[in-house]
Structure 1
Amino acid sequence: MSAELNVIGGHLYLERDGMVLLGQRHPDSAYAGGHWHALAGHVEREPVRTCVVREAMEEAELVVAEEDLTLVHTVHLLDHEDAIPRIQLFFQAGRWQGEPRVLEKDKCLRWAWWPIDSLPEPTVPYTRAAIEGIRAGRLYTEMGWRRQK
C-alpha cells in the first residue's frame, strides 16, 4: 500500500448555554448543500489553528485567538471508496468575540445556535458524529473506512 495525501479541514466548535453554533450551507454548495455544518474550511499552507481563526473571521466575523483553541475531536473520513481521505479537526474556542454574521452568502444561508442534544436535520454526518464524540468525551471517530481482512 502506498502513501496517500489526506485533505485537512479545520472546524470551529462553539458552544454556549447548551447550544452549538451551526451554519446552513447554501443549496448550491458542491458539498452537502442545505445541510447544517460547523464553521469550517480547508487548511491551506498554514497551521490548522491559523486556518480556524481565518475562517471564523472570513465566514462569520468572529474574532478567535489561536491560543484559545483546543483540539476536541478528530474525524478521519472517507466519503466513498474513490474519495480523497479527509482529516477533520474540531477545535473548541474557550472564548471569542462577536456574534456570527453571514459574510459568504454563496456558501452559507444563516448561522444559528442549536440545542446540543437536538441538532437540526439535515446535519452533515461527520459534524454530527464529531459533536456526539465531543459530548461523550471521545477524541476520535472514523467514518467510511472498510476494515481490511
Structure 2
Amino acid sequence: MTILPAHPVDVLLLLTRADHLLLALREGTGYADGQWNLPSGKLEHGEHAITAIVREAGEEIGVRLSPSEPQLVTTVHHRNASGLARVGLAFAVAFDQSRHGEPVNAEPHKCAKIAWFPADMLPTNTYPYTAACVRAFRDRAPFVLSGWS
C-alpha cells in the first residue's frame, strides 16, 4: 500500500518596513511557543493562496492588504524536528500605515506580542521555518529546503 504525502500548505507574510520585518511571539498554542514567527497560517478548504494571506494578515495582525499587494518571494519545504513536513508560500508586502493600518496583536490568545526586527538580525529564538523564509527572501532564493538532511 502506497502512503500519499499530506503536506499542509502555509502562507507566510514578510511585512517589511525599510530593512525590518514584523514577527509575532507565539504563546499558548502548544506549538513553537516562546519562538518568533512570521504572521502565517494554513490554506483553508477551497481557498487560494492570495485570499489566505490577506485573511491571515487581518486575523493575526489586523493589517488590511489589497489582493494585488502580496508578492510571492519564496517557497519553503520545511520538515520539523518530529519529521512532519509542510510547504510554505512566503509573500512580501512593503508596509504602508496609511493603506494597511497599524499592526496589532489581534490574537493575544496565540501570541504574546508583535515587534519589528532587522531582517539580518533575527532573535535567537526565531522558529527555524521562519528563519528559512527570511533567509530565502534576503538571498532572493525562489525555493529552499528547511529541516531536511
* Pairwise same-fold verdict (TM > 0.5): yes
Question: Alpha-carbon deviation of 1:120?
Answer: 1.1
Q: What stretches of structure 1 of length at least 5 have no aligned partner?
A: none
Provide the residue aligned with 2:11 in structure 1: 10
Equivalent residue for 1:127, pick from 130, 143, 146? 130
Question: Alpha-carbon deviation of 1:81?
Answer: 5.8
Provide the residue aligned with 1:39 in structure 2: 39
Structure 2 counterpart of 1:8, one-letter code: V
Equivalent residue for 2:113, pick from 101, 110, 113? 110
User: Is the deviation greater in 5-14 or in 137-146?
Assistant: 137-146
Alignment of 1:1-149 (within 5 A): 2-26=3-27, 28-45=28-45, 46-80=47-81, 82-83=83-84, 85-94=85-94, 96-146=99-149
After TM superposition, the runs of 4+ consecutive aligned structure 1 residues lying more than 4 A away are none
* Residue deviations 1:6-31 (CA, integer Å, cap 9, x gap): 101111111112111101111x3221
TM-score (normalised: structure 2): 0.89
2-side partners of 1:113 and 1:82: how far apart? 30
TM-score (normalised: structure 1): 0.89
* Residue deviations 1:53-94 (CA, integer Å, cap 9, x gap): 1111111110001211111011101214642x2001100124
Change beyond 3 A, Cα 1:81–1:19: closer
* Residue deviations 1:91-126 (CA, integer Å, cap 9, x gap): 012455111111111111111110111111200111
SS in 2 for 1:100: coil
| Percent identical residues | 33
Change beyond 3 A, Cα 1:31–1:93: same
Q: What stretches of structure 2 of length at least 5 have no aligned partner?
A: none
The Cα RMSD (Å) is 1.6
